[in-house]
Amino acid sequence: MLIYQNVTKRFGANAAVDNVNVSVDAGTMLGIIGRSGAGKSTLLRLTNRMIDPSAGSIRFGPRDISHLKGKALLDWRADCAMIFQQFNLIPRLDVLTNVMLGRANSMGIVKSVFKLFTDAERHEALLALERLGIVETALQQAGTLSGGQQQRVAIARALMQNPKIILADEPIASLDPMNAKLVMDALRDINRQEGMTVVCNLHTLDTARTYCDRIVGMRGGKVVFDGTAAELTTDAAREIYGAGAEFDEAATSTTINDRPDETGSQDSDGPRLRAVGSAVASAGG
């Protein structure tokens, strides 16, 4: 279980995350939504402890991860895989090596610098790539792959880390709808197959609705919605994104929806809400 208790992060006078209280059951696929600047990335960076909270605590199972230092902090970062919008691969290295670098935290800096991987690790990395449907790219330079392929390499690298939780910071924001769907399908598959907790920042409301068991909506650093896709009503979406936001249907190009029956029947404003999510994201970010 992941528990945020009165978590605040201030940058000067600005509370980027403002007294957040959320408990996430193990094995949940959690989506965090909100317009640009709402505090989504800050919450993830607090979770993997790239930054320290100004107040409050974050617990993962029995560990209070908000005040870890030294080896305990390194251990937590190894347990906590992070996927970024811009993939963060090493473009000149081949795909297989990039995936095996997921082991770097546990194998030590010297071994990873000299790329001293075992046959078993190579095999495991190939299996991860196969699972992601891109094993044929194993010997290509990572930088030559499409964005969607690179993000799947990043997911394979995360799997190689043997994490206890995956944090994904807008993993599909740079991808076209088809690749976005492949990446979200992969994250959901890992969540379902391994029972792995996945926390995913998303720009688009419809993606959160389609893929997430639970959705947290942030605005101005605060949690203003916490519920299921079905509970995310028109009013709740307005509260998250700001009422009366002007939007243009043409800005809704990043919608993905592989469960049209469910999302289409939840309420008659479904397409409009999707438009609000995408348009606000486009305008703000």
Ligand X SMILES: Nc1ncnc2c1ncn2[C@@H]1O[C@H](COP(=O)(O)OP(=O)(O)OP(=O)(O)O)[C@@H](O)[C@H]1O
Only segment of 34-42, 97-105, 116-124, 127-135 that touches ligand X (CB under 6 A): 34-42
Q: Is 39 in the site for ligand X (CB under 6 A)?
A: yes
Residue pair 278/254 in contact (Cβ under 8 Å)? The answer is yes
Q: What is the rounded CA–CA span in Å between residue 151 and residue 86?
A: 8
Q: Is 52 in the site for ligand X (CB under 6 A)?
A: no
Q: Is 37 in the site for ligand X (CB under 6 A)?
A: yes
For the CB of residue 202, give the shortest distance to ligand X in the complex, in Å.
Answer: 9
Q: Could you say which of 42, 105, 149, 278 contacts ligand X (CB under 6 A)? A: 42
Q: Could you say which of 20, 24, 41, 117 contacts ligand X (CB under 6 A)? A: 41
# residues contacting ligand X (CB under 6 A): 12
Nearer to ligand X, 34 or 171 (CB): 34
Structure token digits, residue 196: 């792995």
Only segment of 30-38, 71-79, 181-189, 250-258 that touches ligand X (CB under 6 A): 30-38
Nearer to ligand X, 227 or 285 (CB): 285
Q: Is 173 helix (H, G, I), strand (E, B) or coil?
A: coil
Max CA distance (Å), the chain: 58
Helices (H), the chain: 40-47, 70-79, 95-100, 104-107, 109-113, 119-131, 147-160, 177-194, 205-211, 234-241, 260-266, 270-284
Cα–Cα–Cα angle for 275, 177, 159, rounded to 5 degrees: 120
Nearer to ligand X, 16 or 205 (CB): 16
Q: What is the rounded CA–CA span in Å between residue 266 and residue 39?
A: 27
Structure token digits, residue 64: 């209070």
Q: Is 220 in the site for ligand X (CB under 6 A)?
A: no
Q: Could you say which of 1, 11, 25, 178 contacts ligand X (CB under 6 A)? A: 11
Interacting residues toward ligand X by CB under 6 A? 11, 14, 16, 34, 36-42, 285
